Structure 1
C-alpha cells in the first residue's frame, strides 16, 4: 500500500471511482482510492441505476448530461460493459401545471444542449399501449438516457482509473485526518471480516496526501466528526419493489423494444422493466432519515425492513397507470439508505475551514451524478475552476448554525419533494421559522410572506391582511403567482414614493489590521474607497472569474466593513479567512470577523426616502445632514435616528435615492417602529425581496449567483468600470487572458400576458441558440417582462433583436443599454 500520494480518494462507490478516474485523466499521477469494504458496497449496490437528465439546476444539468455521455464511452476504453440500457426516459404529466414545469425545464435543458421531445397522450398510447393515458396532459421524453447497472459502471470506472495509474485498496478504513502544514496525514486501519462483520485489525498505516477527497456516502457523518466540521449529508430511507413477470409485458416484448423509464411525477414514482416485470420506486411521504450520528459498525451491504403501508398510495397509482401490473406478485423489495442534503443538491467542493480537503457527499442521485461530479471536481482541483459555476454545490453554502436535527428534517423534506412540483417561487416549510431578525413578528403582523435564505426568514412580499378567503399565500406558479400583484405595488412604491426593505440577511464581515489595506487591494479588482466612502468590487478566482461581490465600506485607514450576498455567509467567510491567513506573511496581520448577526439592515429607498429620514435624524442641522454636500452618494456616515446609532450607507440596490441603515440588531424593533411611525405621512410601504429583484434588473445590477459567478469574469459581466487594470490583483492575468467569451446584457421582453421569465431560459437569435437568461421578472418602469443573461459578444449591442424561450414558445426580446432605467443615475444622486 502506498503511503505518499498526490491525492487520496476515500470511498469506493460510483462517486469515488469517478473522481479517482478523472483526477488521473486530468493529469495527476499518484492517486489512490481507499474503500473500507468492497467497491460498490455502499448505496451503489442497491441503487436502481436510473439516469434522469431532468433537473432544474443549470450546474446539475451539466453534471448529469456529462455522466450520460461519458458512460457510453467506458466499454470502448476499458473493455467492460457498463450495463447502460439506453431506453429513454418518459416523464408524464397529469396536470397543465406539471406541463408548465416541463416547459421551464425544457428551456433550461436547451441552455445545456440536452435533447428532449414532447409527446401527447395519444402518442404515448400508440407507442406504449400498456400505459393508461386518458388522464394525462402530455409528457417530455429524453430518448438518450435510461438506466445502468450501478455495480458494472463503478467497476468500469475503477478499471479505467487503474489503467491510468490509480491505486485502489479495499478493506482499509480511515480513522483520522491530521493537517501537517503542507499535506494531510491520514491514519488508515486494515479491516478484517469476523463473524460476518467488518472489524478493525491492529494493522495501521499513515498515508501522506497533498489532497484528500471524501466520497463516503452513508458514512458522511462519521467523516464530518473526523474532520471536525458540520456536514448536512444524512441518509433517508428509499424503498423500491420488483414484481414478478407481467404476462402482458412479456408478450409485448416478444416483438417490441423495452419501455423507457416511466415517471408519473404527479403520482410520485418511477417504473422500469426488470426481467419481464416492473421495478416501482416511490418517493413517498414520511420516509425517515437514518444514521443521523453515523452508520453502525454492523451495517454493511444491508437493508431496512420494507414498509409497504407507507407506499400503498404509490403502488396503487402504478396499477392505475399500468393496469396489467395489478395481478402481478412481488418478487423482491429493497429499502436502503440514500444520502440527501437540505436542498437536494450534493456537497461538492472544498471542506469548510480546511485546506486541500474536498467533499463529494450527499448524493441522492449518485449514479446519475457520478461521472459529471468526477469530471468537474477534478477540473476544480487540478485547474482551479470548472467550466461551469460550481458554487451552488459548494459545501460552504451551509453555515455553522445548521444542526443535525435541522439537516435530518430538511433531508426528509427534500426526499418527499423529489416529485412535488418545483415551482421557481416555492418555499419549503420544514424547520421554519428558525433564524429570524427581531422585526420578524412585526413584519408578519403586517402581511409579510417569508422566504428563506441561509436559514434567515426574509420577506418575499407583503400580502393583504384582509385577503379574501380564496386567496392562498402558499399558491405557487410557473406563471404569475398570486403574489405578483403585490410585488408590482411594492415596486411602484419604491419608484414613486418610499419603501422599506428588511435586508438583515446580508453577509457582513469586518476586515482590519495593519495588513488589511494591502490585502484587500490585492484580493479585489477595484480601487479601495477612501475613509468614509464605499465601493463595489469583486474578488476573483485564480481563473480570473468572479468569486464574490463585495460592497466595501472603509471605516478607518486599516478597517473595512464588507457586505456581500446573504445566501453565502459561510462561503464568503471561509474563503476570506483562508485568504487572509495565507496572506499574512506578505501583507501583515489581518483580522477577519463575521459580524452578520450583530447588524440588522433596513434599506429605505425611493424619491421620498430623504424626507422620511429627516423626520427622525438627530443632528444640529437635520435639514442638511442627508443632503449631497454632507452625505454624497456612495458614502457612509454614522448618524443617529432617534435613540438608535446607525451606520448609514448612501446606496440603493433598487436604483432610487436611498440608504442602507445598518444598525445594532438588538435595537431593530425600536428603529422599525420609529421609521414606520415617521413614514405614515410619506406613504411608506413595506417591500419584499421579489420587488427588489425586479427593480435591480431595471438598473442592470448584477447579482452574485445569477449574473456573477465562477464561470464568467467581471469583464464578461460587462463591468469594466469596477475593474482597475492599473493595479495588480488576484486573478488579473487569468481574467485578461480569458478575453470576452460571452457578455452580460439586459433585455426587455414582449412575453406572455400571464408569465415572466425566471432566469433559466434560453436566448435565440433567429433559430440559433446564442445564450441564456440568469435573472428574470417584471419591469414596472417599462410595463413588460425583463431579464438579464449572457449572449455571444456579437449579440450584445443595444438594439439587438433576440427571442426568449418561454412556455415552449419564442418571445421577442431586445437588448437594452446598460441600466435602461435612469441610465444617468440622476434619481439615485438626487439632492434635496
Structure 2
C-alpha cells in the first residue's frame, strides 16, 4: 500500500485552490478523515498562473453570496491558520459607458446592500478621486466596491492546506489519481502508491476535470480557453502616488471594453477578455497533454492589440511602461461560465467542484458549498446557478466550445432579461419547430429546447441589439400585449417542447409519492401540484402529478429541472421495491391551448368530453390522433394542455390551428406566458420556488396536509409553524417607471430593508407592473405600502390580497 492511507471518508481529486478549500471546509465541519490527491505540487493547474483578483461583484445572487463569503474568509484566514498571506484589499472601480451599464451597477448595489456590503455608484467626476490616472470624459459613471482586491493564489492555497492539515485532513502531493471504480458500495481510487477506498469522491481536477469525469461515465460540459494577462514594469508616477497615500490603486475594470487593469507592485497587470479568443485542446491536432502542470501556452499578443490600445487610452500612464512578462494559461469554462459545484449527475456519492473561471475569488465560498453538499446533502444558499445537473445530455463538445468561447468573449457583458445569446442554438427542436418559425417566432433556449419567446409582427425590430435593454417596452412589448389579449379574449396556442416527464408506477407507488410531497395525491383521473421539501422544509421542486391509477402516475416538471428532479425521485426510491421510475421526456410533446374560445376550437377537432372540470385529464383524439388532454392552464384561462406523441404532434397542431382560424386563435410565446402567470401569482422554478425559502414562507400552506403520518420536511415545517414564519410570499402592484422589478430587487418599508422580489414583470390583462416576492411576515398584510428598489430608484408598491390579480375566484379557469 506504500505511504498512502487505505481508507478515507472523502477523497478529493485535485490540489488547486478549490480542492484545498473543499478539504479545509470538510475538516472544519468535523469530517477530518478526508484525503486530497494532487498529481504534482499544489496549485499546479490554473491556480499557479491565476491573476488572483478577488471581486465580490456578480449579478447572480448565489454567486455574489459565494464571492462575498470568500472575501470575508480571506481577510481573516492568515490569522486563523497562522500562515502569512499577501492579500491587498484595494477596492475596485468598474467603469460604465452607458446608462444600461449604470442600471446594472445600481441593481448590484441593492443586492450587495442586502448581503451587508456597502457598494456605491460614482459619477464621472468622482471617479478621479478614486483613480486619478484614468480618463473619464466618455464615461457615464462607475461602480465602487471597497471589498475588491487581489491575493497571492499560491499563499492562499497553502494557507487553506495548512488549516486542513492542522485539523487532521491529509494531502498527498505527487500522487495522481489514475482511475476510479465502484466496489461494495464504496469508491476505490487508484494511484501509483496504491488504492484508497472512500465513501465519497470529489472531482476538483480543474481543467483536467473532464478527463477525470470519464472514469465515472460522465462527459462533462466543459472546455478550456487560453487567457492572457500582461505584467508591466514599474511606473514612477504610480510608485510616488502609492507612497503618498499609503495604499495601492483600486483595481480598474473597463467592462464595456472587456479588460481589468491592476496595480502590480508599482507597475500594472492588464488582463483582457478578447472577442477574438482562442480555445485549446479541442481538435485532434491539439490534444490535451497528459500533464500540463506549471506550464503555459506560447504568447499570442496580436489577439490583444485592440485591448492594449484601449487601456492605454483609458490610463495613459500604462503607455509609458515596458512589458515585463506575458502569462498565457488555460482556464476552464462551462457553457454559461459558472462553475460545477454539487452532485455528479447520475453517479452515487460523487460530487464536482471544478470548471472555475474565477476560482480564486470563488474558491472560499465553493469549499463551503461543496462541504455542505457532501456532509448534509443540501446547501445554505440555493446554488442552482452552479449545480452540475443544470446541463443535461444535449451539451456535446461542439456546443460546449461554442458557448464557452461566447461567454469568454462577453465575460463582462450585461445579461438583459429579454436577450437570447446566439451561439449553440438549435440543439433540441419541437416537432412543429418549422411551423412555429414560419409564423415569425423569435426563439429562446430552455434546457436546449427552442421555444418561441414572442412572435414578431411586420416591421418589428428582431435584431439582437434591439433586445439589449432593461426597459419594459422593447421591440417585443406590443406584440406580447397582443398575444396576451388574444388569450384573454379569444384563444392562444403555445408550443411547449421539453417539459420534463417521468412515469412512476408499481405496487406502493402512491404511498411512496405521498411521503415525498407535502400535500395530498390526486385521485385517478385528476391532476394536482405536488411540492417536494427537503428535511429543512425548504422548497426543492414543484411537479404536476397526473394520476392514471392508484399506483400509476405521470409527473411533469420544468424543462431545466430534468436531471435535478429525476435524481431527487431516484435517490428516495426504497431499496427493494416494485416501483419503476422512467424519464419519458423525449417521448412526448405539448401544446397549451387556452382562452375562452378554446373549448369551441377543440369541439371541432376532438372526440373528448370537454365538459370535464378543471384539474382533470383524459385520453382523447385531436385531429384523429391520440393525446392526453389535461384541463389546466398556466395562463390562468379556460384551457387544456395537449400532450401528444412526438410523431403525431404536427398533425394535431395543424388541426387546432385550422379550427382556430375562425375563432381568433393566435400563437403566443414564453414572454406572454410569463406575464399571464404573474397575474395569477403562479410561481416559477428557481425564482419564486427555491431552497432559499421554506414551503410555508412560499405561501404554499394549502398544499400541506398536516394530518398525513409522515412526509419529508414535516418536522421542520411543524416547528416553523409553531415558532412563527419569518417571511411570507406576497404579490405586489408596483408604480414602476419604465423597468419592472428584476429578481432580487430590495423591498423597503421606511428606511428598513424588509424583503426581496423573486420575479417581476408587466401584466397586460390588468395593465400594471407586478412583483412577486418575500416580505417580513408582520408586513405581509393586504394594503401595506412599501417601496421596491428598481435599478437604484425606489417605487411605491402595495401588498395585494391573497388571491390572483386576474380572475381572483378562478371563474374563467373553471368555465
TM-score by shorter chain over 0.5: yes
| TM-score of the superposed pair, with normalisation by structure 1 | 0.94
Q: 2 CA distance for matches of 1:60 and 1:321?
A: 29
Deviation at 1:807, TM superposition (A): 2.2
Out of 333, 336, 344, the position equivalent to 2:337 is 344
Paired residue total: 802
Preserved CA contact (<8 Å) 1:391 1:710: no
Q: Which residue of 2 aligns with 1:733?
A: 715
**Cα RMSD between the aligned structures?**
1.6
Out of 648, 667, 679, the position equivalent to 1:698 is 679
1:579 aligns to 2:572 (yes or no): yes
Deviation at 1:472, TM superposition (A): 6.1
Q: 2 CA distance for matches of 1:584 and 1:656?
A: 43
1:384 aligns to 2:377 (yes or no): yes
Preserved CA contact (<8 Å) 1:2 1:207: yes
Cα offsets for 1:623-650 (capped at 9, x unmatched) = xx212xxx11101011111122110100
Q: Which residue of 1 aligns with 2:769?
A: 785
Q: Which residue of 1 aligns with 2:389?
A: 396
- Report the secondary structure of 2:177's partner residue: strand
1:305 aligns to 2:298 (yes or no): yes
Q: Which residue of 2 aligns with 1:744?
A: 729
State how 1:762-781 maps to structure 2 within 5 Å. 762-781=746-765
Preserved CA contact (<8 Å) 2:107 2:745: yes
Out of 651, 657, 674, the position equivalent to 2:638 is 657
Preserved CA contact (<8 Å) 2:86 2:152: yes
Cα offsets for 1:32-73 (capped at 9, x unmatched) = 211111111110011011111111111111000000001011
Q: 2 CA distance for matches of 1:718 and 1:180?
A: 45
Preserved CA contact (<8 Å) 2:10 2:199: yes
Structure 2, unpaired ranges of 5+ = none
Q: Which residue of 1 aligns with 2:43?
A: 40
1:369 aligns to 2:362 (yes or no): yes
Cα offsets for 1:56-104 (capped at 9, x unmatched) = 1111110000000010111111222232101001100111121122122
Cα offsets for 1:576-623 (capped at 9, x unmatched) = 23322xx142xx21211111111111011112211211121136xxxx
Out of 580, 587, 590, the position equivalent to 2:579 is 590
Out of 651, 662, 665, the position equivalent to 1:684 is 665
Deviation at 1:568, TM superposition (A): 1.3
Q: Which residue of 2 aligns with 1:635?
A: 616
Out of 106, 122, 137, the position equivalent to 1:103 is 106
Preserved CA contact (<8 Å) 1:384 1:543: no
Q: 1 CA distance for matches of 2:597 and 2:787?
A: 38
- Report the secondary structure of 1:618's partner residue: coil
Q: Which moved more, 1:234-243 or 1:726-735?
A: 726-735
Q: Which residue of 2 aligns with 1:489?
A: 482
Deviation at 1:292, TM superposition (A): 4.4
Q: Which residue of 2 aligns with 1:358?
A: 351
Q: 2 CA distance for matches of 1:72 and 1:327?
A: 34
Q: Which residue of 1 aligns with 2:270?
A: 280
- Report the secondary structure of 1:124's partner residue: helix
State how 1:150-549 maps to structure 2 within 5 Å. 150-189=153-192, 204-256=193-245, 257-292=247-282, 295-464=288-457, 466-467=458-459, 474-480=466-472, 481-549=474-542
- Report the secondary structure of 2:697's partner residue: coil
Q: 1 CA distance for matches of 2:377 and 2:755?
A: 25
Preserved CA contact (<8 Å) 1:471 1:482: no
- Report the secondary structure of 2:125's partner residue: helix
Cα offsets for 1:722-754 (capped at 9, x unmatched) = 1212211122223333452322111110010x2
Deviation at 1:498, TM superposition (A): 1.0
1:713 aligns to 2:694 (yes or no): yes
Q: 1 CA distance for matches of 2:299 and 2:655?
A: 59
Task: Specify whether residues 17 and 176 from structure 1 end up closer, same or farther in structure 2 by C-alpha distance, changes over 3 A only.
Answer: same
Q: 1 CA distance for matches of 2:785 and 2:715?
A: 34
1:93 aligns to 2:86 (yes or no): no
Out of 69, 72, 76, the position equivalent to 1:69 is 72
Cα offsets for 1:193-238 (capped at 9, x unmatched) = xxxxxxxxxxx31112111112110111111111111211222111
Q: Which moved more, 1:211-220 or 1:107-116?
A: 107-116
- Report the secondary structure of 1:255's partner residue: helix
Q: 2 CA distance for matches of 1:418 and 1:328?
A: 26
Q: 1 CA distance for matches of 2:732 and 2:777?
A: 14
Deviation at 1:244, TM superposition (A): 1.6
Q: 2 CA distance for matches of 1:432 and 1:640?
A: 33
- Report the secondary structure of 1:331's partner residue: strand
Structure 1, unpaired ranges of 5+ = 190-203, 620-624
Q: Which residue of 1 aligns with 2:792?
A: 808
Q: Which residue of 2 aligns with 1:827?
A: 812
Preserved CA contact (<8 Å) 1:515 1:584: no
Q: 2 CA distance for matches of 1:714 and 1:127?
A: 46
Task: Specify whether residues 525 and 292 from structure 1 end up closer, same or farther in structure 2 by C-alpha distance, changes over 3 A only.
Answer: farther
Q: 1 CA distance for matches of 2:288 and 2:350?
A: 22
Cα offsets for 1:344-376 (capped at 9, x unmatched) = 111110001112111001110100111011112
Q: Which residue of 2 aligns with 1:600?
A: 589
Q: 1 CA distance for matches of 2:398 and 2:536?
A: 38
Q: 1 CA distance for matches of 2:719 and 2:689?
A: 19
1:798 aligns to 2:782 (yes or no): yes
Q: 1 CA distance for matches of 2:727 and 2:159?
A: 37
Preserved CA contact (<8 Å) 2:231 2:326: yes
Q: 2 CA distance for matches of 1:114 and 1:509?
A: 43
Q: 2 CA distance for matches of 1:48 and 1:487?
A: 45
| TM-score of the superposed pair, with normalisation by structure 2 | 0.96
Cα offsets for 1:543-598 (capped at 9, x unmatched) = 32122211010112321111001111122223323322xx142xx21211111111
Q: 2 CA distance for matches of 1:786 and 1:286?
A: 41
- Report the secondary structure of 1:52's partner residue: coil
Deviation at 1:133, TM superposition (A): 0.5
Q: 1 CA distance for matches of 2:70 and 2:645?
A: 49
